[in-house]
A and B are shown apart, each in its own frame.
Chain A
Amino acid sequence: MTNGASTVALDQARNNLASLWLIAAVVIVIVVAAETMFGGIDQSHAQSVWEWLLPTLTPTVGIILSTLSRTAFQSSPSRAMVRKTYYRVAFWLSVFYLALILASIVFRQSIADDTAAWLSNLQTSNLWLAPIQGFVALVLGILFTSAKHHPEGK
């Protein structure tokens, strides 16, 4: 599905990115849900934690799922190609962003003494997470919403 060494099939790129995002989102949600259920996060702080978490994932996951749903009934695979460089940027930017979120959750004991202090740090982390999320959304938005088809080999 690759065209030489410089391009990759759009479907392939979308599938890889969708896998990355869905798996990471599932892992993150399971971890936070377990923390909430087992008492790692106090009930009084659970809502604030989820209020921080969901906006970091849902917009991008929403775009990905809507695109996958839209293309699910296409009879033939798209012939569109995308530059490998662009795909790599999208992939590694996603990895970086998702790793930041996961690290904020998994290493919370090293970040803060307790959930209250951790929440305060999470609010601060929006200062750098929001711009990165903006870049990720921009890159993925183009990749997932572009309907332009290029003839193969062109």
Chain B
Amino acid sequence: MPFAQKRKILNYLAIFLIAVILACIAGLWLLTRTVPGSAPPSRSEGNMAPLEGPRPQQSEGSMAPLHPPSQKPSEPEKPAPIPSLPSPTAPQQAEVLPQFPWPPPQASARTVLPALQTAGGASPKTFGDIDAVLSSALLQTGYGDKGYYAVPGGFAVAARMEQIYANGRSMPPPARFSLSPPVPPVFSLDYFKGLFIARNGYFRVVVFIVSGQPFTLSPSGPSEAEATGWPHGGANALPIAVASMPLATGYDVTALIYEFQNSTAGDSRKFILLSPQDQGSTVVLLSGIDHLRQSGLWDALGLR
């Protein structure tokens, strides 16, 4: 082939390549400008709260605080004294179970579960019965590790941090328990898209608090390291002394959801707690029930 012809072909190929790249970039740009409501629940990157630092005020709405009418929400939170469990074995329990931060750190979502039932369909009578229901649900849904903590009037169980999709569904292993967003297959559309648009990772820690005492959340949220450490920092099982305690009337099982986000655009080791407290944030937060449904815990707990 003559030399000049080779050069011509090379030039055409190059022009074609540039045109394809420009077209792809334009396509991506159009994709990112989807009409709100036409896409599945996506998370935009708005003003998200940093992991540390005080939160200026409590949010309203789904995360309304559980203050009694006499208590002013604006009053600074004092570290509440942790009352012992209504049982003579409480001192032993306090020795075995580490204390969960109290009041609990600010969560991304919170929901009080409807009444739980044991595997036999009966109402739980003791803390042990409740623990059996929760443990079974956590096992069924693939949460390996969990840690037990003491809370005023009951106990808390924290599940392992998992990676989730933007809609709250748990990722399949091994990405589920990885702290980095999974890399799409090379030469796939997602890989190409990830080149230009940052891949966000979403992570969730579920904490169940079983207690007969109402509580509010602390204004500040936990750091990623703190939340990741909860399953390992707690006791591996509920002590028999606690498990055998009868449930107080009016007890509640509250699920606290701590959702974090990181991004490949910068430093993916920097996690941000998604919190409803962020004023002006454009992040679409999932409700506690959505999280529990998407994780499979809702069904595993026998809730309908």
Nearest opposing residue in chain A for B10, CB measure = A19
CB under 8 Å from chain B, chain A span 91-113: 106-110, 113
- Distance (whole angstroms) from the CB of B150 to the closest CB of chain A: 37
* Residue A78 lies at the interface, judged by CB distance under 8 Å to chain B: no
CB under 8 Å from chain A, chain B span 168-189: 180, 183-184, 186
Nearest opposing residue in chain B for A116, CB measure = B267
Q: Which of A15, A16, A31, A116 contacts B266 (CB 8 A)?
A: A116
Nearest opposing residue in chain B for A41, CB measure = B265
Chain B residues near A35 (CB, 8 Å)? 195-196
* Residue B14 lies at the interface, judged by CB distance under 8 Å to chain A: yes
A106→B186 CA distance, assembly (Å): 10
- Distance (whole angstroms) from the CB of A83 to the closest CB of chain B: 14
Nearest opposing residue in chain A for B183, CB measure = A109
A114 touches B191 (CB 8 A): no
Query: How would residues 1 to 28 of chain B score, 1 for a CB under 8 Å from any chain A CB and 0 otherwise?
Result: 0011011001100100110011001001
B29 touches A38 (CB 8 A): yes
B10 touches A34 (CB 8 A): no
- Distance (whole angstroms) from the CB of A77 to the closest CB of chain B: 13
Nearest opposing residue in chain B for A16, CB measure = B7
- Distance (whole angstroms) from the CB of B180 to the closest CB of chain A: 5
Q: Which of B18, B180, B265 contacts A42 (CB 8 A)?
A: B265
Chain A residues near B4 (CB, 8 Å)? 1, 12
Nearest opposing residue in chain B for A9, CB measure = B3
Chain A contributes a number of interface residues (CB within 8 A of B) equal to 32
Chain A residues near B186 (CB, 8 Å)? 107, 110
A109 touches B180 (CB 8 A): no
A87→B266 CA distance, assembly (Å): 42
CB under 8 Å from chain A, chain B span 182-231: 183-184, 186, 191, 194-199
- Interface residues of chain A, those whose CB is within 8 Å of chain B, are 1-2, 8, 12, 15-16, 19-20, 23, 26-27, 30-31, 34-35, 38-42, 44-45, 106-110, 113-117
- 13 pairs from A and B in contact (CB 8 Å cutoff): A12-B3, A23-B17, A31-B195, A34-B25, A34-B196, A35-B196, A39-B196, A40-B195, A40-B265, A42-B267, A106-B195, A110-B183, A115-B266
8 more CB-based (< 8 A) A-B contacts, given A12-B7, A31-B21? A12-B3, A19-B11, A23-B17, A31-B195, A38-B28, A109-B183, A116-B268, A116-B269
